[in-house]
Structure 1
Amino acid sequence: MKYSRTRMAIAIAGALALTSTLVACGDDKKDSAADANAAVTLNVVGLLPGAKPEAQKALADEVADFQKENPKITVKTKDYEWKATTFAADLAGGTLPTVFEIPFTDAKTLIANGQIADMQSSLSTLSYAGNFNKNLLQYGQGPDGHTYAIPAKSVYAIGLHYNRDLFTSAGLDPNKPPTTWDEVRSAAKAIATKNPGVAGFAQMAKDATGGWQLTVDTYARGGRLEDGKKATLTNDATKASLQFLKDMRWTDNSMGANFDYDWTGINQAFAAGKVGMYTSGQDVYTSLVQTNNINPKQYGLTMIPLTGSDAGVLGGGTMAAVAKTATANEKAAAVKWIDYHYLRKYTNQDAAKKNAEIQVASKQPVGTPELPIFSQQQYQTYQDWIKSYVNVPLDQMTSFTTKVFDAKLVNEPAIATQDVYKSLDTVVQAVLTDKNADIDKLLTDANAKAQRAIDSAG
């Protein structure tokens, strides 16, 4: 499978041109005091809770290889899942590892609040520090131009994930997934009718994921939830998205009986064959294998339907950050780990092959679709390096991978992101649980809550 080299007019927060750019490297005197010979114990984020033993073994092998290369650093991993509802308390309580993961949208707030470490001098030690996509790196940079959070993984675009077996059982062609929202609705009804107890389509609805996925639906219909510092939750695209969910829930009865899914829960249900379709980042296949034991043969990925002149696909990603309390030695060790664990495979052929070999030996996914952290050309080179190791069903994802680079990729709401999402959770829940839910009133109330959060964020 090849990504197009020429059609990368993708935007994050306006315009995301995936080209290599130079990164200005400042001078952080605190980092310069790091002792390269000091012994360091580094606590880092590991896998999601419940990851299979094979995935844990692959991570343990990677840690062991890292420690051979860096005998002065002892790495301890902690299983962890970022959640909007618990992250702030974990950070304030000091229970996070020294190296942890955050969404792109949260980095600026953490920098402004002085809650994560300045990593500029440590980052500048990497040979490829000047090759990051500038438009991605800027999400982790402060007003001083220093880098505090580093693009690490899961630069994603939302896709429509579907169960090929359930499509077949409903008389649908799994090689021709839906391309319009009307076709999604029709397929959901067919799946639910032929498979009692199965949701033809399911939607996340709690812990800020309801608002996240309603934003996905809104963007796909050409709407936006913010205009500068103004909340715009009452836009026509959001109303249409909610009406779509309401019609599937109450007219078609095609959304099953669980309306309280979060990211983890909907992944579990999908892998267990209880959900026919749902929307989430295109990279979720790796988690479905590592944590949910999905059967690769049943998995399919396609583009979400786009309608309207300003329709776009919601995009985002994960950054690696370091605790504010980290010592200079811990920060130096952290960058070495971030390099080894997340990034080196994209810039070094030997590292790419070694990582792939470890994953294959532990029966872990290699080749799950990603979006580039550096340039598209560099990512294509990386794909060529690992081509012989790829073990994911890419031929069941081509209706996504051959189209995503022609789509407009739009960043998440820029201000008070998680609060905006939380204000919409209750709207999604109400529409799915109350047949008489008043969409206009629900959105008016949510818009007021979102505006207060935006105003408070400054």
Structure 2
Amino acid sequence: MAGIQSRRRLIAAGIACALSAGLVACGSDSSSAGKDGVVTITVNGMPPKTQPVDRTYFEADVKAFEKEHPKIRIDAREGQMDPKTFSAKLAGGQLEDVYYVYFTDPAGLIQRGQGADISKYVKGVPYLDQVKEDYLKVFTGADGGLYGLPNGQYSLGLIYNRDLFEKAGLDPDKPPVTWDEVREAAKRIGALGNGTVGYADYSKNNQGGWHYTAWVYSMGGDIAVKEEGRWKAAFNSDAGRKALQMLHDMRWTDRTMGTRQLLQIEDVQKMMGSGKLGMYMAGPDNIPTIVKQFERKYEDYGVAGMPGNATLGGGSGFMFNPKASPEKIKAGIEWLQWKYLNPDRTEFEDKRASNNDVPIGLPLDRLFTGVAAAKQDLAHREYANVPQGNYKPFIERNAGLEQKVEPPNAQQIYTVLDGVMQAVLTKKDADIDQLLADAAKKVDGILTTVK
């Protein structure tokens, strides 16, 4: 906690004003500040009242931040970036100064001029130089400018039922590392009978396209590539065909994926929570949902790294209203760094969470490298209340995998790829080559709007 206390003393002494020409207004008489020099910023991402613990933490953090930063006020609001209402909110002056986005959003927002360039305001921001470069690239425009900051990250792997592994004669501490091994493990788990399903996957509401992207990445392919300045579909490839063929064979030849298809995340989590599913593709953050909703134990589940050589990584972050004043942008950066990109607070956050039955020690949010990562790891180990050994296969393997982000215009592409997944999983005689060719043409059309 010494690091936190030291930083508080520095801020109280006004030294924080030296960061990046001052991350806070520091008495600026700009029109965006009140007569007392206080800058008020609107931010979204506040947890809803249906998540009482998270909301309580958030509100407490706002109060603590404002106490340490007496010249900044946080007007927090629920919600995230909704593509259906975003443009209207921006045009009508209703968009928050600092707004929450997923990694699939920034490219389009930057291209359309719907985010502020914050490059000149981030010099000297604590720990920013230790945020992984790939996640900063998500918020970097074609002009090289930085338009936002990440606050969370995930990598997909395999969630698996350790008890079913043991019953099937599989070692739960050595989960599959190739898709052939996944297929063989699914056969042995499916052979247990009593409605047990070896492997399940999503195929609707854009989740099928999302997972197909991860399949293709893991097999060495891409969904889209940029050639000679233009984006084009790239999944009509050996990797794309191998992924669909594996899914087809597991579904129809091995019959280890069950007869019920057109699934989405809630369906598969319910299957895992019932104790009847061996494996499915997901991030470690799925485990608390399963444990809480279906009254399971953390000891029941393990996490494996993605089979193959690459995995899909995604996440979230915040961007800035292009109409926000420099003072609001500086204040927003200060808030984001303090709240989300602050390894000095990890010990405090873990201790607080551990006292409220919140899982500590899941392999999540690997945003940092270097000293920042080491600080977070130390705190997580001290306050861990979930079985660390169950996640060792994921941690060890994930460190060596290429982390690939989602393609541009991802949600539109996923809608197309949903259809590909659905056809393979519901039609035994699905023509894989034709499916890929047709989908590639549609995706090429979607990508014409990307620069």
Scaled to the shorter chain, the TM-score interval is: 0.7 to 0.9
CA offsets 1:266-296 (integer angstroms, 9 cap, x no match): 4454345453211123454456567776521
Aligned residues: 418
- Residue 383 of structure 1: aligned partner: 377
1:359 counterpart = 2:353: yes
**Could you say which structure has the greater relative contact order, defined with CA pairs below 8 angstroms and 6 or more residues apart?**
1
Question: Given that residues 127 and 372 in structure 2 are in contact (C-alpha distance below 8 angstroms), is that contact kept between their aligned partners in structure 1?
Answer: no
- Residue 89 of structure 1: aligned partner: 84
- Residue 435 of structure 1: aligned partner: 428
CA shift, 1:239, in A, is 1.2
What pairs with 1:123-202 in structure 2 (closer than 5 Å)?
123-124=122-123, 126-154=125-153, 156-194=154-192, 196-202=194-200
Mapped partners of 1:404, 1:269: distance in 2 = 25
- Residue 247 of structure 1: aligned partner: 249
Change (3 A) 1:338 1:257: farther
CA offsets 1:20-62 (integer angstroms, 9 cap, x no match): xxxx97999x9974538326363421348964x4444444443
Mapped partners of 1:258, 1:124: distance in 2 = 53
- Residue 38 of structure 1: aligned partner: 38
- Residue 6 of structure 1: aligned partner: none
Question: Given that residues 42 and 330 in structure 1 are in contact (C-alpha distance below 8 angstroms), is that contact kept between their aligned partners in structure 2?
Answer: no
1:404 counterpart = 2:406: no
Q: TM-score, normalised by structure 2?
A: 0.80
Change (3 A) 1:57 1:265: farther
Query: Aligned to 2:282, what secondary structure does the other structure show?
Result: strand
- Residue 446 of structure 1: aligned partner: 439
Query: Aligned to 1:66, what secondary structure does the other structure show?
Result: helix
Mapped partners of 2:296, 2:370: distance in 1 = 29
CA shift, 1:441, in A, is 1.0
Mapped partners of 1:324, 1:286: distance in 2 = 37
CA shift, 1:370, in A, is 3.6
What pairs with 1:290-369 in structure 2 (closer than 5 Å)?
295-306=297-308, 311-326=309-324, 330-344=328-342, 346=343, 348=344, 351-369=345-363
Question: Given that residues 204 and 262 in structure 2 are in contact (C-alpha distance below 8 angstroms), is that contact kept between their aligned partners in structure 1?
Answer: yes
Question: Given that residues 423 and 430 in structure 2 are in contact (C-alpha distance below 8 angstroms), is that contact kept between their aligned partners in structure 1?
Answer: yes
Mapped partners of 1:383, 1:325: distance in 2 = 38
What pairs with 1:206-285 in structure 2 (closer than 5 Å)?
206-228=204-226, 229-285=231-287
Mapped partners of 2:99, 2:121: distance in 1 = 16
Query: Aligned to 1:140, what secondary structure does the other structure show?
Result: coil
| Corresponding letter in the other structure for 1:391 | N
CA offsets 1:164-223 (integer angstroms, 9 cap, x no match): 233234443322322332221232233334353443211122232212211211122222
Mapped partners of 1:65, 1:289: distance in 2 = 31
Worse-superposed segment, 288-297 or 254-263: 288-297
1:204 counterpart = 2:202: yes
CA shift, 1:111, in A, is 0.8
| Corresponding letter in the other structure for 2:430 | A
| Corresponding letter in the other structure for 1:88 | P
Mapped partners of 2:86, 2:294: distance in 1 = 27
- Residue 114 of structure 2: aligned partner: 115
Question: Given that residues 225 and 235 in structure 1 are in contact (C-alpha distance below 8 angstroms), is that contact kept between their aligned partners in structure 2?
Answer: no
Change (3 A) 1:57 1:298: farther
Mapped partners of 1:265, 1:47: distance in 2 = 24
1:374 counterpart = 2:374: no
Q: Structure 1: give runs of 5+ residues left out of the alignment.
A: 1-23
CA shift, 1:105, in A, is 3.9
CA shift, 1:243, in A, is 1.4
Mapped partners of 2:363, 2:262: distance in 1 = 28
Change (3 A) 1:254 1:152: same
| Corresponding letter in the other structure for 1:442 | L
Mapped partners of 1:292, 1:64: distance in 2 = 35
Change (3 A) 1:422 1:185: same
Change (3 A) 1:61 1:38: closer
Mapped partners of 2:265, 2:324: distance in 1 = 30
Change (3 A) 1:264 1:74: farther
The structure having more radius of gyration, on CA atoms, is 2
